[in-house]
Amino acid sequence: MSDFSKISTFIWNVCDDVLRGLFKQHEYGDVILPFVVLRRLDCVLEPQKEQVYALYEEWKSKVDDPAPIILNKVGASFYNRSKYDLKRLTQDPHNIRMNLNGYLDGYSKNVREIIENFGIGKHIDKLHKNKRLFLFVEKFTEIDLHPDVVSNHTMGQVFEELLRKFSEMSNETSGEHYTPRDVVRLLVGMIFTPDTDRLKGEGLVRSIFDPCCGTGGMLTISQEWIHDFVNESVELRLSGQELNPQTYAICKSDMMISDGDPENIRGESSLTEDKFAGDRFDYMITNPPYGVSWKSEKVEIEEEAKNPNGRFSAGTPRSSDGQLLFLQHMISKMDRDRGSRIGIVMNGSPLFTGDAGSGESEIRRWIIENDWLECILRLPDQMFFNTGITTYLWIVTNRKSSQRKGKVHLIDGSSFYQQMKKSLGDKRKELSKQNRRELLDLYASFEESEFSKIYGNEFFGYTKVRVEQPLVEDGKVVRKRDGSPKADTKKRDYERIPLSESIEEYIQREVNPHLEEYWVDRSFDSVGYEINFSKYFYKYTPPRPLSEITADLLALEEESKDLLRQILED
C-alpha cells in the first residue's frame, strides 16, 4: 500500500472509530485536518524536543522573548517549548485536556497563528466532554508523518484528497473545487517550458506567486517541475495568499515544514486585501474560484476600478463571477523590466460573456490590445473533482517571443485524455503523461493543425454598429420636415463588424441589399472582444443518408411490434 493510501485509510478509520455519531460528516474536516498538521509538526520537531525544552527553561527568566535564541540554536523556523507532544500527552490520560492546552500554547507564535485559523478549540472541548479526546489523540500517535517517511509531495496529495472529500460532505458549490495534479502539471509545463534557458545557471533566484493558493499545490508542483527538469540549484521564492482559513493554515504549515518561508503565505482576500501590494513576480499561477460572487467586496473593488492606476481600471466583470478580477490582479504584479509569465485556469465565461462595452469585454480588449494573451488551451470536460464543466488554461505574458508577438495561439485539447478506471467525484477523465506531452508539443511548435489555431490579435475584436429602420405608415416612411426619416424607429438591429474590415464596405455588402430604408447611427459604435472556441474548431458532420434513417425507424417499428406481441402472449 502506498503512503498516500495508507494515510487516507488511517484518516477514515479515525473518522469511523472516534468521530462518527459525535460530529456530523461535514464537520469531520474541521476536527481531523488540524491534528494531521500537528502530528506532522510533532514528527519534524521530535529530534530537537529535549533541546528546545531545555533552552526555554534556561532562557525564559533571562530575556523577555527567548524565541530568537531557541530558533537560532536549533536552526529551525518554529518550535514547541512544551514538554509535551501528542505521544507524551497519552501518558497522562486523566489530564489530557489541560496538558493539550499547554502543548498548543507551547508552539512558537507562527504555529499558534496556524492553530488559531483552524479554530479547533470548540471541537477539542466536545471531544473531551464526550470522553473521546484521549482516544482521538492516541490514534494520531500511531502514524509517522515525518518528511523522511511521507514526502511533502505525498502530504500535499493527502491534504487535497481530504479537502475534496470533506467539501463534498459539506455540499459546497462546484466553484469551490481543488485542482487535479494532472491539470496543474500541464499548466506548469506551459508556463516554464519556454523559459528553460532563463532558468539555467548558478546563483539564480526566481519568484512564483499564487493569489488563491489553497493548500499550496500549484506552488509546490511548480517548484518540483523546475528542480526536476531544468535546474535543481535555482532558488525559488514561493508566495501565496488564501482566503479560506483552513487551507491557509495547511499551506502555511506545509511551507514551514518544507524549508520554505511561511511568512510569504498570507491570509484574507487577494481582491480587497492585497498582502503583496507593490511586489512583482517572475511567474504566477492560480486556479481562482469560478461562478463565485464578489458582491461582498463590490464597494472596495469598484472604488479601486475608478483609479486609472488601480488593478481593476480596465473594467469589472458581473458581480456573480470574479475570475477576471484575479487575472487583473496578477497582471498588476507583472515585472515590467524582466517580464513575467502567468498561467490561470478558468471556465468558459471569461472567453465570451459580456457584449461590447461590458466589463468582461473591456478586460479582454485591454489584455489582447496590450499583446499579453499568448495562448488558451481547452481542456476536456469532467476533469475536476467537484464540477464536470469544460475549463481553459490561459497563458498571459508581457514577454512574448518574437514569433508570437501580435498573435494568440488557441489549442483544442478536449479530445486529449484517458478515461479513469474509477471516478473521483465528477472527475472521470485524466491527462496521461502522453496526453500532456502531446499538448505541450502543440504549444511549443506554434504551428497550425487540426487542434491548433493561430490568429492575429485584431481577429478577436469587432465594432458593434447600430442600424436603424424608420417608422412606416400606410406604406410610406414617416419623415421630418427636412425630408430625413424620423428618429423613432420601427426596428433596431446591431451588426458586429470585424475590426479587420471596413465598416462602410461591410454595410454596403451585408446590410444595403436587404433593407430599402435604413441609416447607421455611428455615435453608438462600441468595440468588443470575444473568443469563440466552438466556432474556430467547428467540424462539419454531414447528415446521415435518408435511407439509413428510414431503415432504423423501420427496425424500431418491428422491435416494438415484437415487444407488444410478447406482452399480449404473456
Q: How confident is the model at residue 482 (pLDDT cuts 50, 70, 90)?
A: low
Amino acid identity, position 313: S
Q: Tell me the chain's radius of gyration from C-alpha atoms.
A: 30
d(CA 76, CA 41): 12
Annotate 375-427 with DSSP letters as a single string: EEEEPPSS-SSS--S-EEEEEEES---TTTTTEEEEEE-TT--EEEEEEETTE
| pLDDT band, very low/low/confident/very high, at 147 (cuts 50, 70, 90) | confident
Task: Please state at what angle helix 49-59 crosses helix 67-74, rounded to 10 degrees.
Answer: 150
Non-local CB neighbours of 265 within 8 Å, separated by 6+ positions: 213, 216, 239, 240, 241, 242, 248, 251, 252, 255
Taking the CA atoms of 148, 150, 155 and 157 in sequence, report the sign of the dihedral they define. positive
Instruction: Read off φ and ψ for residue 546, nearest 5 degrees.
Output: -60, -35
Percent of the chain with pLDDT over 70: 94
User: Residue 175: pLDDT above 80?
Assistant: no
Cα separation of 335 and 316, whole Å?
23
* Residue (of 246, 174, 243) closest to 30 by Cα position: 246
- pLDDT at 259 exceeding the cut of 80: no
Instruction: Please compute, for residue 55, the number of CA atoms within 13 A of its CA located in the half-sphere on the CB side.
Output: 19
Confidence of residue 174 (pLDDT cuts 50, 70, 90): very low
Task: Taking residues 63-92, report their average pLDDT.
Answer: 92
Q: What residue spans define the domains of the chain?
A: 3-150, 181-447, 460-534, 543-569
pLDDT of 254 > 90? The answer is no
pLDDT at 172: 52
Regarding predicted confidence, which is higher, 412 or 254? 412
pLDDT(423) > 80: yes
Window from 27-31, 304-308, 383-387 with minimum mean pLDDT: 383-387
Is the pLDDT at 148 greater than 70? The verdict is yes
Over range 208-234, report the average pLDDT: 94
Which H/E stretch holds residue 209? strand 205-210
Q: Look at residue 173 and tell me whether its pLDDT is greater than 50.
A: no
Query: Mean pLDDT, to the nearest integer, of 18-40?
Result: 91
More confident residue, 317 or 558: 317
Examine the pLDDT at 149 and tell me if it is beyond 70. Answer: yes
| Mean pLDDT in residue range 18-37 | 90
SS3 1: coil
CATH, range 181-447: 3.40.50.150
Q: What is the mean pLDDT of the chain?
A: 90
493-537: pLDDT as tens digits:
999 999 999 999 999 999 999 988 888 989 999 999 999 999 999
pLDDT of residue 9: 85
